[in-house]
A and B are shown apart, each in its own frame.
Chain A
């Protein structure tokens, strides 16, 4: 998942970016409003974290512009102004949730995960499709109630596919969203990881959780048990 962090305070921004990176997200950073808007409109972004008080262009204006351009990804506001007037303005402009400064990182991380899951149409942090359950808060995959051991990269792939269960995800999109820019971009790597995931989740090839659509990409194929 690729996140965008727009925050003018360098210490805060870098710390946030580093910790989100450690949690398995690819993170873009922008230090002012104009740069932030450019990233928000031009980069493949799954979620944006936007400070409301930014130089050059206010966070509120960025949110309005992003929504006006038809971008639907979730937006989390960081705000030092916790008057309800500001919160309501942000939410009406198109943001989905807010975190008031000074926050604990865990708070931001929890909101980010919840927003991503919601944007995939899942109502709870335990996503279940057939025998497969993904627990986002514990970052755990279970098949038939048996935990499946995954590397962090394998987890990122299944999380991305499963949050968007039913949608076709191209190899290029997976590469974009999962690699940080400094990773080697090689689409064969994705094929290898998909193969490993299939083996781990479905050793006897009976449930077929991941479908390959030739020339188009992959799709998490199991029916959701519940949806929001």
Chain B
């Protein structure tokens, strides 16, 4: 459970459940108790009425009148029953309503005591019963004990409770659902700025955005500002790095060019030849070492979306000028709208070096194919760039040497210069790789650079 909003929603749901559960329990208990008390009071009243209606007969036994005032005692199965038992628990009288029913004897109450009990009829109908044991003094002075018992069926009461509970649960469920809905809407509103930051960071990672916008609530403004500072300083660092390298290259190479010019004026052939070799070596070191990739996959926030079609078109236009006499035929196959997530300079180094080599070595045909490569959970697609020509190709040994051993300057593939070494370094810095083979269709060299898709730095 990573998301803040689901955490909050679950916590609130648990709280609501506990709170409403307790409320429901209290209300239910109170309702049931109040209901039962009311029933007892009614039974008590009925019992008093029974006692009042009992009359002794001539045989000094108690006798109940034919008709009682309570009509429910008269109609069969009304749910209100009464009976009178003697000291041996023999039924002396039973109300008309209890015709055909056997009211359970139950526990005999202590003399003079009321005893409430829950009992069942034979068919399982629950009863609330009230028994009262009395000692009757007859006119002849004899004492006899009797038990008066009234019983009321709890069916209607239970139905009432069930109805009450249904209503209680229904209402509380409705209230809880409404509260949760309102809460989750509130949460959406509150968490909107966080989601915005999240999506803006994704956009930065995808290269569609340069910095976070400033439109955040006070609590988040500091985070956004610091995030922007971090991004800016990363960019500045990467720019400064490149600028320093460029300046270093420039300030080393102009003196080298001047030295070479001076050397040409010398007429000592052997001396200037050897000197020239050293200049060549220094130049290669400067070119190789100072043309390191400017970005890598780790610099997620610095990378931008390079418009591949546009940059390749610029390169091809430039190379058409440079190879004007050779007039190579360029075949460009690029997925429309394709973007490379990285540094424009690095992309131009990759494509520029490979295209330049292809132009140099081709007879007349150069083909560049760039397609995106996609992966699971990638926020930006990778790239597979293949550049082929119809020239003599690169000997397998030289290709293997370059790919396996790594590049040392004096081992640079003859004729392909240090361009391939630079391409390999850049490909590696983006987590990609380089492969060299013979083009099946064109017959010359076919060099493929595969850069894997970028996965988000976000977890989850």
Q: Hey, which bits of chain A sit against chain B, CB under 8 A?
A: 9, 11-12, 15-16, 19, 53, 78, 80-85, 87-88, 91-92, 95-98, 100-105, 114, 118, 123-124, 228
* B353 cross-chain contacts in A, Cβ below 8 A: 84
Distance A96 CA – B320 CA, assembled complex (angstroms): 9
Distance A91 CA – B265 CA, assembled complex (angstroms): 31
Other-chain residue from A12, A81, A85, A95 in contact with B258 (beta carbon distance below 8 A): A12
When A15-B258, A105-B261 are in contact, do A118 and B253 touch as well, CB less than 8 Å?
no
The answer, yes or no, to whether B345 is at the interface (CB within 8 Å) is: yes
* A124 cross-chain contacts in B, Cβ below 8 A: 325
When A15-B262, A88-B315 are in contact, do A81 and B250 touch as well, CB less than 8 Å?
yes
* B256 cross-chain contacts in A, Cβ below 8 A: 101-102
Other-chain residue from A78, A87, A95 in contact with B352 (beta carbon distance below 8 A): A87
Q: Hey, which bits of chain B sit against chain A, CB under 8 A?
A: 246, 249-262, 264-265, 279, 283, 287, 291, 311, 314-315, 317-318, 321-322, 324-325, 344-345, 348-349, 351-353
Distance A32 CA – B361 CA, assembled complex (angstroms): 37
* B321 cross-chain contacts in A, Cβ below 8 A: 91, 95-97
**Are A118 and B324 in contact, with the CB atoms below 8 A?**
yes
* B264 cross-chain contacts in A, Cβ below 8 A: 15, 19, 104-105
**Are B325 and A80 in contact, with the CB atoms below 8 A?**
no
* B250 cross-chain contacts in A, Cβ below 8 A: 53, 80-81
9 A-B contacts (beta carbon < 8 Å)? A12-B254, A16-B261, A80-B253, A82-B291, A85-B349, A88-B318, A97-B321, A102-B258, A228-B324
Closest-CB distance, B310 to chain A (whole angstroms) = 11
**Are A104 and B325 in contact, with the CB atoms below 8 A?**
no
Q: A15-B264, A85-B344 are in contact. List 8 more A-B contacts (CB 8 A).
A: A9-B254, A9-B257, A9-B258, A15-B258, A84-B315, A84-B345, A88-B352, A104-B260
Distance A103 CA – B255 CA, assembled complex (angstroms): 11
* B260 cross-chain contacts in A, Cβ below 8 A: 102-104
Closest B residue by C-beta to A124: B325
**Are A12 and B325 in contact, with the CB atoms below 8 A?**
no
**Are B246 and A83 in contact, with the CB atoms below 8 A?**
yes
Distance A105 CA – B272 CA, assembled complex (angstroms): 14
Closest-CB distance, B321 to chain A (whole angstroms) = 5
**Are B349 and A83 in contact, with the CB atoms below 8 A?**
yes
* A105 cross-chain contacts in B, Cβ below 8 A: 261, 264
**Are A80 and B317 in contact, with the CB atoms below 8 A?**
no
Closest-CB distance, A11 to chain B (whole angstroms) = 4
When A87-B318, A97-B321, A123-B325 are in contact, do A80 and B258 touch as well, CB less than 8 Å?
no
**Are B322 and A85 in contact, with the CB atoms below 8 A?**
no
Other-chain residue from B251, B279, B314 in contact with A92 (beta carbon distance below 8 A): B314
**Are B253 and A84 in contact, with the CB atoms below 8 A?**
no
Closest-CB distance, A57 to chain B (whole angstroms) = 16
Distance A11 CA – B260 CA, assembled complex (angstroms): 10
Other-chain residue from A9, A11, A82, A96 in contact with B287 (beta carbon distance below 8 A): A82
* A80 cross-chain contacts in B, Cβ below 8 A: 249-254, 257
**Are A83 and B258 in contact, with the CB atoms below 8 A?**
no
Distance A118 CA – B324 CA, assembled complex (angstroms): 8
Closest-CB distance, B311 to chain A (whole angstroms) = 8
Closest-CB distance, B253 to chain A (whole angstroms) = 4
Closest-CB distance, B247 to chain A (whole angstroms) = 9
* B348 cross-chain contacts in A, Cβ below 8 A: 83-85, 88
* A83 cross-chain contacts in B, Cβ below 8 A: 246, 291, 345, 348-349
Closest-CB distance, B249 to chain A (whole angstroms) = 6
Other-chain residue from A92, A95, A102 in contact with B257 (beta carbon distance below 8 A): A102
Closest-CB distance, B67 to chain A (whole angstroms) = 116
Distance A84 CA – B246 CA, assembled complex (angstroms): 12
Distance A88 CA – B317 CA, assembled complex (angstroms): 9
Closest-CB distance, A224 to chain B (whole angstroms) = 16
Closest B residue by C-beta to A104: B260
Distance A98 CA – B256 CA, assembled complex (angstroms): 17
Closest A residue by C-beta to B280: A102
* A101 cross-chain contacts in B, Cβ below 8 A: 253-254, 256-257
Closest-CB distance, A50 to chain B (whole angstroms) = 14
* B261 cross-chain contacts in A, Cβ below 8 A: 11-12, 15-16, 105
Distance A81 CA – B254 CA, assembled complex (angstroms): 10
**Are B249 and A84 in contact, with the CB atoms below 8 A?**
no
The interface centre, meaning the residue of A81, A84, A87 with most chain B CB atoms within 10 A of its CB, is A84
Distance A92 CA – B287 CA, assembled complex (angstroms): 23
